Each structure stands twice: as C-alpha cells, then as structure tokens.
Structure 1
Amino acid sequence: SQPFDYESVKRVSPFAKTVGGRKHFMFKRAAAATALLVTIGGASAFSAPLPLARLTSRIAKTTAGTIFRSPFTRTVCLFGLGGESSKASSEKGMYPIVGGEDIMRQKAHGTSEKPVMKNLRWGCDYETADRICNFNRHYAEFAGYWTTTKFLQEVDKEKETTYYDSVTGKPLFIAPRGRTFEEFKAESISHGWPSFRDEEVVWENVRCLNNGEAVSVDGTHLGHNLPDRKGNRYCINLVSVAGNPNPEH
C-alpha cells in the first residue's frame, strides 16, 4: 500500500474530467477521487507515490457503481464535492494567512533547524514524525493513524486542547472551538486526519502556502488545507502537532 500523496490529486484532476466520457460534475470528481483513494489508501509506510500511468489506468476503469460504495463516502469527506480551491478563504476573507515558499527553505535539519522532540505526546512515533515534519512536503501519516495512538484515550474531551509544534513547541491549534469535541472527533474520523477550522488555528505560528500546504512559521510541515462547503479545513498530521509546550513561547 502507498501513503497518501496530495500532489497525485492535482496530477490526475485534468484526466478526471473525462472519466467514462461523462459530464456530470459529481460523477467526474467522485469517480476519480474514489479510484485514487482505493489505490493509495490505508498506507502504513512512508514511500514513493504510485506511478501516474498506473494510477490513471485504474481511474479509467472506474464505473458509476464504484462511487456509491463505502470508499465514496470517505472520498466525499476527504475531497468534498463543492469544487473549492485550496486557496479558499473564510466568509470574512481573512483566512488562511498565506506564507511564502521561503518558509520551507532548507535549513540545518531539512526544512527545520532541529529534529522533532523525543517525548512526543500520545505515543506518536519519533521517526515518522521527524520524516513528515522535516523532510517532506506532500505526504501524510496514513489515514486513521491518529486513532491508533493514545490520543482518544488521553485527550480532555471537556476542554480545549492546545496542539504544539513537534519541533519548536509553539502552539499551532486550539480545539475544539465553536463546536463540541464529539463534532471535532466525528469530522476527523470521517476525513482520516485531525481536521481544524479557521478559528482553531493559532495564526501567529501557522501559514498556508499557495498550493494549500499548511506549515508552521518555522518550517514544520503540518498538512494541507482541503476546503469543504463549510469553509477552510486544515487536515493535519497528528505527528506534526504532538509536541510539548516550550516555556519560551
């Protein structure tokens, strides 16, 4: 199995417009995304993306019947069907705050100045975290990884939880805000990754690049902004926000 590669979605999107020769928007987008999800979903390793030729071959064989099976439900949660851009902003037009590519320039340790912390919260794996946070721009921990950690057992379900940068210890997200923990949990389970909204982002320390990549101001790869009909949805690797607070911040 393969890890989820956000860039694969972009590479196949032009092809998706002609899947089966159909012109219905929901069919086109859902069919392509479903085939993609079935092909690369559920990865437990961090490895190279599926060759595009092989991927598009599978997409071409996707039928309308495939859409309405269970993978389609996950596809709707993952990609949405509203056609929003990764640059979409909230109704107020303030978010996301866009940062420059220079944030992710090479530094002493990949895109960061140092490795991730050794004592990550919730039992997150150090090597996976260091790879995703500092030596990666497109990949994610496998879908549902966060539910295999101690997160759901240890997180406070009655109060807000602050999520800290796994490298610097700076606060990056505070959730839930404007909703219950159960709503936050349900959305995250449906999508496959912890999913945050605009009001839950500590914008002092977080930026989105023009391609939708969510990063810390210090160069930690966090995840991606994948908007849905409700607005911006920041789909974040738990290993990227499992740090402990740094007293200096």
Structure 2
Amino acid sequence: MVSVVARAVVLSMAASAVVGFAPSGFRPSRASVGNTPTSLNMGLGDSLKSFLGLGGQVYPEPCVMGDESIMSKKAHGTSETPVQENLRWEADRETADRICNFNRHYAEYRGYWTSTTFVKEAKEEYDETGEIKFYDSNTGKPLFVAPKGRTFKEFIEESLSHGWPSFRDEEVIWDNVRCLQDGEAVSADGTHLGHNLPDATGSRYCINLVSVAGKPGKEG
C-alpha cells in the first residue's frame, strides 16, 4: 500500500504540473506573465486526493482543521463583506472578490503574483522588518507571516517553483486560518485562500496573492 507521504508527493507533483483554465471572469486585467497564463483547477486536486485515498484528510499539527460551516453562504458569498478597496501590491480587486468569496476550487493564474508589485515591495518590507505580513483581503486580519525558518530568497524560490505564494506551518497565523479535510485553506471568516498541497517535507499552503493582499484592520 502506498504510504500517506508517498501519496502526498504524487499529489503535489500532479497538482503543480497540471493546470486548467479558470472561468474567463477569473482572469485579471493586468498583463499576463509569460505567453500562457493559466490557473490551477483545484477541483482536479480534489479528485486526485480522492483517487490517492486522501479524502477526509486530517493534517498534522500545528495545522488547525475546520469544517464546512466556515464556508457557508453569508451576506457576500462565503464572507460577510466584499474585499477591500485598493488592495496591496496592485492586486486586481475584481479577481480577488471572485476568488475570495464566490469560489472553492479555482485560483489566480500561475505566476500572477510576479506580475504585481509584490516582489519589489515585499523585499523592501523584509529588509526593513525582517518579515512580510499578509492580511485577509476581506477583513484585514493577519493570516501569514513569512519567511520563518528560511530566507527571503528561499521563500521566493519555492513560490516561483510552485507558481503561487507558498507557506509552511510556522508561517501561518492559526488563530485566523483553517484547513478543511479536502485540503482547502480558508480564513476563519470564510475567505477562500488556496489549498494545502503537502510535499515530502510537510504541509505546503499554496495561496492566491489576491486573497492575502488586504490592508491591516484593527486586529492587524
């Protein structure tokens, strides 16, 4: 029988390699990165998890598990409010609102984050404070702080390798983030963030930049 770690590695490789086209409304208005901007069909990842026997997965601590009630219908899709105006790093607000609040499977296209001002401004923030803070695009609550246990260069290199900003367990603010049994990563307030696609070293949270481009709220 294939071990859980081996299954996770296969899932990670497949999800990183196979891409699908998101609905046309999910394509940001900014210029695309490279010649073939694409977006990961997270539904395919869910199917692979089922095929590999990973459905109903309970991820090891410090990951905090959540249930489907978090993503129940609310005033604005799965959230109480739409995304903020004037998101950080020039992230596209229309794309952000659809991915954050009216979506469970699709993502911004692979490499989208490199078409924004993120890399430049994140490096400036890192040089000044030694870390980069990422806030919920709906609520402004802090969700991730990176890099931790690695350098800025290593954080960027892993994110480039997988196509989306990629976080490890110690970089997640677990008071405000939950992981569902199908691997979907969400905020405790119902914002779709991305998916947990583990590799051989552990959980790896592949997150849409548009979901974590908020400005800090009162709790931030």
Tell me the CA shift for residue 46 of structure 1: 4.2
* Equivalent position amino acid for 1:230 in 2: T
* Equivalent position amino acid for 1:198 in 2: D
CA deviation string 1:159-215 (max 9, x = no partner): 201100000000000000000000000000000000000000000000001100000
Work out the CA distance in 1 between the residues paired with 2:210 and 2:165: 10
Alignment match, 2:14: 33
Task: Report % sequence identity.
Answer: 60
* Of 189, 196, 203, the match for 1:225: 196
Can you give the 5+ residue segments of structure 1 that lack an aligned partner in the other structure? 1-24, 48-78
Alignment match, 1:10: none
Q: 1:103 to 1:160 in 2, by over 3 A?
A: same
Equivalent position SS for 2:139: coil
Runs of 4 or more above 6 Å deviation: none
* Equivalent position amino acid for 2:104 in 1: R
Alignment match, 2:148: 177
Alignment match, 1:194: 165
Q: 1:218 to 1:33 in 2, by over 3 A?
A: same
TM-score, normalised on structure 2? 0.75
Contact 2:58 2:181 in 1 (8 A): no
TM-score, normalised on structure 1? 0.67
The alignment's C-alpha RMSD in Å is: 2.7
Number of aligned residues: 183
Alignment match, 1:160: 131
Equivalent position SS for 2:108: coil
Contact 1:88 1:227 in 2 (8 A): no
Query: Comparing both chains, which one has the higher relative contact order based on Cα–Cα distances under 8 Å and sequence gaps of 6 or more?
Result: 2
Tell me the CA shift for residue 153 of structure 1: 1.3
Query: Which structure has the bigger radius of gyration?
Result: 1
Alignment match, 1:151: 118
Can you give the 5+ residue segments of structure 2 that lack an aligned partner in the other structure? 1-5, 27-44, 46-51
* Of 168, 183, 192, the match for 1:212: 183
CA deviation string 1:84-112 (max 9, x = no partner): 948364xxx41321101000000000000
